[in-house]
Amino acid sequence: MLNFLFNVKSVAVIGASQDPMKIGHAIMENVLGTGFSGKIYPINPANKEIMGLRCYMNVTEVKDSIDLVVIALPASRSVEALSQCVEAKVKCVIIVAGGFSELGGEGRALQDQINEMIKGTQTRVIGPNTVGVLFPYSNLNTALTPKERIYYPGRGEIAFISQSGALGLLTMDSITEYDLGISGFVNIGNRTDIDESDLLQAFSEDIHTKSIAVYLESVSDGNKFYEIVKRVNLKKPVVVLKTGRSEASSRAASFHTGALASDDRVIDGILKQAGVQRALDEVDLIDYGKALAYGKPLKGKRIAIITTAGGAGVVTTDLLTSNEYGPALDLTKFNDTETAEMKKAVLPFASVANPIDLTADGNVDTYEIILDVISKSGNVDGIIAYALPQTPKIDLGIVDVLSKYARNKPMVVGVIGNRLAKDVLRELEKKRIPAYPSISRSVKAMKVLYNYGHFLNRRGVP
Amino acid sequence: MLNFLFNVKSVAVIGASQDPMKIGHAIMENVLGTGFSGKIYPINPANKEIMGLRCYMNVTEVKDSIDLVVIALPASRSVEALSQCVEAKVKCVIIVAGGFSELGGEGRALQDQINEMIKGTQTRVIGPNTVGVLFPYSNLNTALTPKERIYYPGRGEIAFISQSGALGLLTMDSITEYDLGISGFVNIGNRTDIDESDLLQAFSEDIHTKSIAVYLESVSDGNKFYEIVKRVNLKKPVVVLKTGRSEASSRAASFHTGALASDDRVIDGILKQAGVQRALDEVDLIDYGKALAYGKPLKGKRIAIITTAGGAGVVTTDLLTSNEYGPALDLTKFNDTETAEMKKAVLPFASVANPIDLTADGNVDTYEIILDVISKSGNVDGIIAYALPQTPKIDLGIVDVLSKYARNKPMVVGVIGNRLAKDVLRELEKKRIPAYPSISRSVKAMKVLYNYGHFLNRRGVP
């Protein structure tokens, strides 16, 4: 029902402004500056033209049908503006302003007016109290932060639903570092109408979306959420960062988005039951989303590690096999044939016991030989490979080799360092290989692939 | 006794080479290219001159006294070369080659020859099986990886002792991203002579060192380590990343550095007894070192959080107050006077309950007013402040304000995002404020300051 959001043809901005200090200015700049090819209607009775576009008095004045309206006005005037939109049969309205239910009392009453107004109509509402939406595949960006302050991600395979606007924007800015893209971002804010469950459903049907990351401070409707998330997670893996574990953080959340933080134990039970991975912070949330979008679920616990830095292999083993600090996975034992084949390819100093340490002499060709043995092995369920361009014989050619073998077996790649390492990470991103800039982030990604694979196994999903 | 390492006046490189494929070439380039102002003697019987410097046949041919020799030769020839160094009364020799005890058998015997050779002499040995040392305060870099492949950190306050060479180099490359510096780096390798305890002692007496980060796969001498680390940690906080928690990782470590991984429970007991913080990976190791080098130990559990992104405050609260996923610290409750003072400074939408959420309207002046109240409060033991330049009224001026108040109270700063955020992180680094690019890394830094403060409290250290 909300799938039209992924392919909006026309946008109006009520409160569009020439004044760079106004939010209606930044939103117009983002809508115009992201290459949106649909129709754009600035709405502001005080202007005849904004940014080279004809400006309208009112949404109802536009003769075209409008898919999406962004209302960039203060709270009380937003409700008035919404009534124009309902009249004009707009499909979806984003209400940016805060000052609604998160303030309680009068704000709550104002928010109730929104619900009254759209009841029984075809108009749906995102927000209020939202920074907007981003849909890179249709070049649509209605966010309120100007591009000078933030980088917005391009096209990718992770959908991102966030109850918090600022944290959503900050997280998107962060992930652009390694050119990570998204399939869409929606800040649901006070979610008086469209909520996380509606969007889970919509993104589960979106062709570009491979996994869904969700930031929540509370759940809008527990039963609805459970019914939808358990179905969606079987089709497209879902990761949830849900706060409110402690009384202190529930209180903080209630000040923030006005939501009564649902009892965390109930939500935790729902997520466990639905096989949904839970993230602890904004980095985990996207890291896990990436692992599940790009990686293959593990069918078993036996991992092979390959590295040119022995210490990285040792620390990886330590975390990977720990049941206290890690996922308690196992290191594969290679059989004699496998060991002999690998021994032929490496220098005498190198170790082909697991972790396989090629030492600083390891080169891309040796990686290929070793990965060939590993990927054919019946003793290996998943691979953690390090791609370390600081060692003299590793160059960007490692990316092609890794991507070839990542098609056969679940693989996570660790890349540690600054300039050259970032180049490698960006190339791996282009190939959609789950790659991470630290050991523990790599191990956690493998944990998530294991957990999701284990969940699918239990459900009998092949 | 090893303090001369921090102020080496003369370096010789045995195996110095014109051939860019040789390690003796890269080492010479690093020694020459880092601005070392002492004397440099290339040693290679096949050359008269290397990189514009007179080349010597032999160390004993050099008439000057030599503080440090780097031997960049294969294992067997390294032992011969060492005998020249002993004869020439060199203070310290770095043996780069692998092929010693980590291989067992013959390698073990070769390493024993080193010990025999230096016994009773004034010559000390670093290695074998080491990538070298880095001492930015004397512009000395003997590492074997060329600058085209890796960035080396500049001057800072964290000493870094690593049993693993490659992981040490990768970690140093990583930390240059935010211009983090070090006071020194030593890769102890097989540590046939100089070990982690000797260097802990030396760095504890180094004026530039404020904290010491140590990567270990095993402990060289448990009793010696315990005696030294418990003393050093009271003076300069120590962080240890020690692997070998599981049988699998002990085995991996034994292949890597040849050391029998000591029983982890024993080491864990030693570290706990000595009040040493334990890191889980290479990121934690330096993050914790930075918190302890720049930050003040916490005297109590009551934390204030200030942010312009409400969601960041909520997630921080969630982790900070958790006893399962975090340090179980408390959020301060401000008294009525404090609350009233803060209320005057902020817009009606903002929350001055803890976490203090200034919302996107928060500006640098408001931060100053709020931090002034917080830092004078008797109810606050530590501060987590977010510096988020994506919100429209926060600019680099936030750095001066934060650094002013970081002098009074333990403070950790969180900065999330890409380009502008990185600028802020680099400025905070210049001011020596412990700042981190994610929520959980910020919370873990605060945990470490709490743990160390708690340890000092228990020991009655004021």
Query: By the CB < 8 Å criterion, does B237 face chain A?
Result: no
Residues A194 and A272 in one domain: yes
**pLDDT(A295) > 90:** yes
Pairing of strands A211-216, A238-242: parallel
Residue A454 covered by a domain: yes
Best of B25, B318, B325, B416 to disrupt the A interface by mutation (most A CBs within 10 Å)?
B318
Residues A452 and A338 in one domain: yes
Q: What are phi and psi of A457, to 5 degrees?
A: -55, -50
> What count of CB pairs under 8 Å joins A to B?
252
Distance from CA of B72 to the nearest CA of A (A): 15
Residues 85-124, chain A, touching B (beta carbon < 8 A): 98-99, 103
**pLDDT(B407) > 80:** yes
Looking at residue A347, what is its pLDDT? 84
Residue B39 covered by a domain: yes
For residue B295, what are the CA distances in angstroms to A241, B111, B449? 29, 42, 7
Nearest Cα to Cα of residue B164 among B204, B208, B234, B214: B214
Best of B100, B267, B314, B321 to disrupt the A interface by mutation (most A CBs within 10 Å)?
B314
Helix (H), strand (E) at residue A40: strand A39-43
**pLDDT(A1) > 90:** no
Looking at residue B259, what is its pLDDT? 52
Q: Share the mean pLDDT of chain A.
A: 95
Q: What is the pLDDT of residues A352-390, one digit of tens each?
A: 999 999 998 899 999 999 999 999 999 999 999 999 999
Q: What is the pLDDT of residues B104-123, one digit of tens each?
A: 899 999 999 999 999 999 99
- By the 8 A CB rule, do B374 and B304 touch? yes
Distance from CA of B80 to the nearest CA of A (A): 21
Domain termination residue (choose one: A294, A326, A356): A294
Residues B363 and B235 in one domain: no
Which CATH number covers residue A445?
3.40.50.261
Task: Work out the percent of chain B whose per-residue pLDDT is above 90.
Answer: 90
Residues A85 and A161 in one domain: no
Distance from CA of B125 to the nearest CA of A (A): 22
Q: What is the pLDDT of residues A203-237, one digit of tens each?
A: 999 999 999 999 999 999 999 999 999 999 999 99
Report d(CA B27, CA B132) in Å as an integer. 9
Looking at residue A125, what is its pLDDT? 98
Average pLDDT over residues B384-397: 95
**pLDDT(A258) > 90:** no
Q: Share the mean pLDDT of chain B.
A: 95
Model confidence band, residue B260 (pLDDT cutoffs 50, 70, 90): low
Distance of alpha carbon B185 from its chain centroid, rounded? Answer: 8
Residues B304 and B418 in one domain: yes
ipTM: 0.96
Residues B207 and B313 in one domain: no
From A254, which residue of chain B is nearest by alpha-carbon distance?
A: B314
Q: Give the long-range contacts of residues A199-202, CB within 8 A, separation 24 or more.
A: A199/A2, A199/A159, A199/A161, A200/A161, A200/A228, A200/A229, A200/A232, A200/A238, A201/A1, A201/A2, A201/A228, A201/A232, A202/A1, A202/A2, A202/A3, A202/A5, A202/A6
Q: What is the pLDDT of residues B292-344, one digit of tens each?
A: 999 999 999 999 999 999 999 999 999 999 998 999 999 999 999 999 999 99
Helix (H), strand (E) at residue A186: strand A182-187
Domain termination residue (choose one: B269, B294, B319): B294
Beta carbons within 8 Å of A43's beta carbon, 6+ residues apart: A12, A13, A14, A15, A16, A55, A56, A57, A58, A59, A62, A69
Looking at residue A259, what is its pLDDT? 52
DSSP for B335-390, written as a single string: -HHHHHHHHHHS-TTSB-SSSEE--TT--HHHHHHHHHHHHH-TT-SEEEEE--TT
Pairwise CB contact (< 8 Å): A245 & B318: yes
Q: How many helices (H) and strands (E) does chain A have?
A: 15, 20
Residue B307 covered by a domain: yes
Taking the CB of residue B258, how many other CB atoms lie within 10 A of it? 21
- Domain extent for B14: 1-129
**pLDDT(B404) > 70:** yes
| pTM exceeds 0.90, yes or no | yes
Pairwise CB contact (< 8 Å): B390 & A170: yes
**Judging by beta carbons within 10 Å of its beta carbon (0-12, 13-18, 19+), is residue A21 exposed, middle or buried?**
exposed
Residue A132 covered by a domain: no
Model confidence band, residue B351 (pLDDT cutoffs 50, 70, 90): confident
Average pLDDT over residues A56-74: 96
Residues B3 and B27 in one domain: yes
Residue A157 covered by a domain: yes
Residues A368 and A450 in one domain: yes
Residues of chain A with C-beta less than 8 angstroms from the C-beta of B173: 390, 416-418, 421
Residues A283 and A189 in one domain: yes
Nearest Cα to Cα of residue A122 among A95, A86, A94: A86
Report d(CA B311, CA B42) in Å as an integer. 58
Average pLDDT over residues A429-453: 98
Distance from CA of A74 to the nearest CA of B (A): 13
Residues A402 and A305 in one domain: yes
Q: What tokens were used for B116?
A: 């025999």
Report d(CA A113, CA B308) in Å as an integer. 29
Distance from CA of B63 to the nearest CA of A (A): 35
Residues B268 and B322 in one domain: no
Query: By the CB < 8 Å criterion, does B154 face chain A?
Result: no
> Who wins on pLDDT, A258 or A339?
A339
Residues B453 and B369 in one domain: yes
- Is the bond into B42 cis (omega within 30 degrees of 0)? no
Q: What is the pLDDT of residues B58-109, one digit of tens each?
A: 999 999 999 999 999 999 999 999 999 999 999 999 999 999 998 889 999 9
Place of tokens 């990436």: A290
**pLDDT(B1) > 90:** no
> Who wins on pLDDT, B264 or A282?
A282
For residue A124, what are the CA distances in angstroms to A63, A113, A141? 20, 14, 18
Q: What's the total number of domains in chain B?
A: 3
